[in-house]
Amino acid sequence: MAKARFEWDVKKDHANQKKHGVAFAKAQFAFADPGRVIAEDLSHSSSEKRYYCFGWVDGGVMTVRFTYRDEVIRIFGTGYWRRGKQIYEREHQVHGRASRKAEDRS
């Protein structure tokens, strides 16, 4: 499996840490979750496609907003948001995967 490469704007990272309390460096771990969910951001009206990654990081579901640029994942937002958790849990129910809470109890 190829190793993913990540990049981000340092100023946006600092602003995100101040606003949401999460560094972009930590957001990379959402992509390592084998149960991660990737969804296209259909509401974004740019010529560049944008996506969400919902993945389990440090005991919660992290949402990462990103795009692909020259085979690099460019992160531009991240946080622990209720909507991301709902999407992650819904996808795991639809696909018959156990929820994280059930897995953690065993």
Domain borders along the chain are: 6-101
Q: What is the structure's pLDDT at 68?
A: 93
Contact partners, residue 103, CB within 8 Å, separation at least 6: none
Predicted model pTM = 0.83
Looking at residue 83, its amino acid is R
Q: So what's the pLDDT on residue 48?
A: 86
pLDDT along the chain (106 residues), means of 10: 84 97 97 95 82 95 95 96 93 64 44
Compute the distance between CA of residue 92 and CA of residue 75 in angstroms, rounded to an integer.
24
What phi and psi, each to the nearest 5 degrees, are found at residue 28? -60, -30
Whole-number pLDDT of residue 97:
55
Backbone angles phi, psi at 50, to 5 degrees: -125, 155
Cross-sheet strand order for the sheet of 72-79? 6-8, 72-79, 60-69, 51-57, 37-40
pLDDT at residue number 44? 73
Q: What is the pLDDT of residue 86?
A: 93
**For position 98, what pLDDT does the model report?**
52
Q: Tell me the helix, strand and coil percentages in the chain, rounded to 5.
A: 35, 30, 35
